[in-house]
């Protein structure tokens, strides 16, 4: 293809390299904790931002007029985009991608026509996947952009809209299956509400669970061994998104007996919007055996919306990779760059640089996190901090051998309680800085 023909394949040159088109920290084959970096990281391109995003915002039209979009419209444009997408991923060494149905093919006048368009593009994607060995990390459905989803998709008060969403998810699952996708994501889109004055929240949540059960049943029916994920987000587009954060989603899945079929796809910017750290969101999911995949991006702490920036924050990347390593790694999941270049970064070169710095940031994060874990920096401290539960009364508490009465007797018989110790937060932060800066 002509669009990136002057770009050489991006290679690792190390941290001293002055060439912006090289990796400074990401060395795909280098072994970290017994595995090549690329297996720890499994970077993925988000089709919607990188291939179809135009840079629009509520105040301005598209600034990113991609050269490949200028050559055609409709299905022809969609076909060119497939070629460009794979050329782009090959040049950077991205081995995975993710898409919504609506990203890859134009919607037709009817569902039938839309599905026909999808099939034609999926044929092409299949050829490119075979040629390049690039894999599908997950597929998903866009059931939020079209005006029919104004009141939600599976949580719409309109049963026809529920049915439409179900039909759309069915097709998206089928194409994900055809392309050998490892996962399928449900991000809530417009599944939430603006005001309880017009909303039956209980009913809407039951319907959300109904649709998810149908998805599980259908995957079984077509013999598709897929990992389903829910992607939590607290707000935007609706004021109250039902999948608020990790804790909300874990309880929702448990309450509806869906916890064996779903894991979480956790996004950094969504954690920020939920007023949690990404580390908290990951830890909560991992502690509940539901850490599945990551949408790697970053928000802006001064803004209250989902800016979806490429990840450049090392501190965050270290703690994200620390949580992932601590949880034993992502199995079916990966690191999907659900990230877009800033509106004034409108050249195709900006797209390359953005992915390179995102990959380098996580590669640096992985190296540092592995050192932290191998040296047991935080683990040793944790063991020390909770040691009162290893013996004596603490052991009896965790073994459920004592109740209120025994504990009262225990305390009455003690002259004074064990002295509290420092939490050493500043010391730990200082050690973390040493690992980061070197
Ligand atoms: C929206 C978002 C989505 C999902 C996929 O904030 O993150 O792009 O990742 O639907
Ligand atoms: Co996302």
Give the model confidence (pLDDT) of 37-60 as tens digits.
999 999 999 999 999 999 999 999
**Per-residue pLDDT averaged across 388-396, rounded?**
98
- What b-and-e string marks burial along 70-109, b requiring 16 or more CB atoms within 10 Å of the CB? eeeeeeebbbbbbebbbbbbbbbbbbbbbbbbbbbbeeee
Nearest CA residue ID for atom 7, ligand 1: 338
Nearest CA residue ID for atom 2, ligand 1: 187
- Choosing from 186, 338, 340 the residue with most ligand 1 atoms within 8 A of its CB, the one to mutate for a pocket test is 338
Distance 184 CA to ligand 1 centre (A): 12
- Number of the ligand 1 atom closest to the C-alpha atom of 48: 8
Residue 5's pLDDT is what? 86
Q: State whether the beta carbon of 295 lies less than 6 angstroms from ligand 1.
A: yes
**Rounded to whole angstroms, how far apart are CA atoms 193 and 152?**
8
Q: State whether the beta carbon of 140 lies less than 6 angstroms from ligand 1.
A: yes
Residue 71's pLDDT is what? 87
Q: State whether the beta carbon of 238 lies less than 6 angstroms from ligand 1.
A: no
Give kind and range of the element (H or E) at residue 89: helix 74-92
Distance 264 CA to ligand 2 centre (A): 11
- Choosing from 233, 274, 309 the residue with most ligand 1 atoms within 8 A of its CB, the one to mutate for a pocket test is 233
108 has pLDDT over 80: yes
Nearby residues for ligand 2 (ion, Cβ within 5 Å): 267, 295, 338
- What b-and-e string marks burial along 255-273, b requiring 16 or more CB atoms within 10 Å of the CB? ebebbebbbbbbbbbbbbb
- Each residue of 352-367: pLDDT tens digit? 999 999 999 999 999 9
Distance 168 CA to ligand 1 centre (A): 17
- Choosing from 189, 295, 333, 334 the residue with most ligand 1 atoms within 8 A of its CB, the one to mutate for a pocket test is 295
- Each residue of 397-426: pLDDT tens digit? 999 999 999 999 999 999 999 999 999 999
pTM across the whole model = 0.97
1 has pLDDT over 80: no
Nearest CA residue ID for atom 3, ligand 1: 187
Q: State whether the beta carbon of 101 lies less than 6 angstroms from ligand 1.
A: no
Encoding tokens for residue 185?
Answer: 């994501």
Compute the mean pLDDT over every residue in the chain, rounded to the nearest whole number: 97
2 has pLDDT over 80: no
Which among 170, 142, 147, 164 has a CA at the least distance from the CA of 47? 142
Residue 340's pLDDT is what? 98
Measure the CA angle with vertex 72, ends 348 and 99; round to 5°: 60
**Rounded to whole angstroms, how far apart are CA atoms 207 and 200?**
11
Q: State whether the beta carbon of 252 lies less than 6 angstroms from ligand 1.
A: no
On whether the CB atoms of residues 371 and 378 are closer than 8 A, the answer is: no
Q: State whether the beta carbon of 267 lies less than 6 angstroms from ligand 1.
A: yes
**Rounded to whole angstroms, how far apart are CA atoms 25 and 356?**
10
Residue 209's pLDDT is what? 98
**Per-residue pLDDT averaged across 106-130, rounded?**
98
6 has pLDDT over 80: yes
Q: State whether the beta carbon of 338 lies less than 6 angstroms from ligand 1.
A: yes
Length of the chain in residues, anyone? 438
Give kind and range of the element (H or E) at residue 246: helix 246-255
The residues assigned a catalytic role are 100, 103
């Amino acid at each position: 293809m002509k669009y990136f023909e002057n770009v050489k394949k991006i290679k690792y040159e190390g941290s001293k390299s002055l060439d912006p088109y090289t990796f400074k920290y990401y060395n795909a084959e280098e072994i970290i904790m017994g595995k090549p970096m690329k297996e720890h990281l499994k970077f993925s391109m988000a089709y919607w931002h990188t291939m179809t995003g135009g840079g629009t915002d509520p105040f301005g039209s598209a600034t990113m007029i991609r050269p490949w979009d200028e050559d055609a419209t409709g299905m022809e444009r969609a076909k060119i985009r497939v070629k460009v997408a794979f050329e782009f991923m090959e040049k950077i060494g991205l081995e995975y991608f993710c898409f919504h149905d609506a990203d890859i093919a134009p919607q037709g006048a009817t569902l039938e026509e839309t599905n026909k368009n999808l099939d034609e593009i999926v044929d092409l994607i299949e050829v490119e996947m075979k040629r390049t060995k690039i894999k599908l990390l997950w597929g998903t459905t866009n059931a939020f952009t079209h005006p029919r989803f104004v009141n939600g998709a599976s949580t719409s008060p309109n049963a026809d809209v529920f049915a439409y969403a179900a039909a759309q998810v069915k097709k998206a699952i089928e194409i994900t299956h055809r392309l050998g996708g490892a996962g399928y994501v449900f991000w809530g889109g417009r599944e939430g509400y603006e005001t309880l004055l017009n909303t039956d929240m209980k009913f809407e949540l039951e319907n959300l669970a109904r649709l998810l059960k149908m998805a599980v049943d259908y995957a079984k029916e077509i013999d598709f061994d897929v990992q389903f994920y829910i992607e939590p987000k607290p707000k935007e587009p609706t004021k109250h998104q039902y999948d608020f954060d990790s804790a909300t989603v874990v309880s929702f899945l448990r309450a509806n007996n869906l916890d064996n079929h779903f894991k979480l796809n956790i996004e950094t910017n969504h954690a920020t919007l939920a007023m949690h750290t990404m580390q908290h969101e990951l830890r909560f999911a991992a502690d509940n055996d539901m850490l599945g995949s990551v949408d790697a991006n970053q928000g802006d702490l001064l803004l209250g919306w989902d800016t979806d920036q490429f990840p450049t924050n090392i501190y965050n990347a270290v703690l994200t990779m620390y949580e992932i390593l601590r949880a034993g790694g992502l199995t079916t999941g990966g690191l999907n760059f659900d990230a877009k270049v800033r509106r004034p970064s409108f050249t195709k070169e900006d797209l390359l640089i953005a992915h390179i710095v995102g990959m380098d940031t996580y590669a640096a994060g992985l190296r540092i996190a592995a050192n932290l874990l191998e040296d047991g920096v935080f683990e040793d401290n944790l063991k020390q901090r909770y040691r009162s539960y290893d013996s004596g009364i603490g052991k009896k508490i965790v073994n459920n051998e004592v109740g209120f009465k025994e504990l009262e007797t225990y305390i009455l018989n003690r002259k004074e309680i064990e002295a509290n110790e420092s939490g050493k937060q500043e010391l730990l932060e200082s050690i973390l800085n040493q690992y980061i800066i070197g």
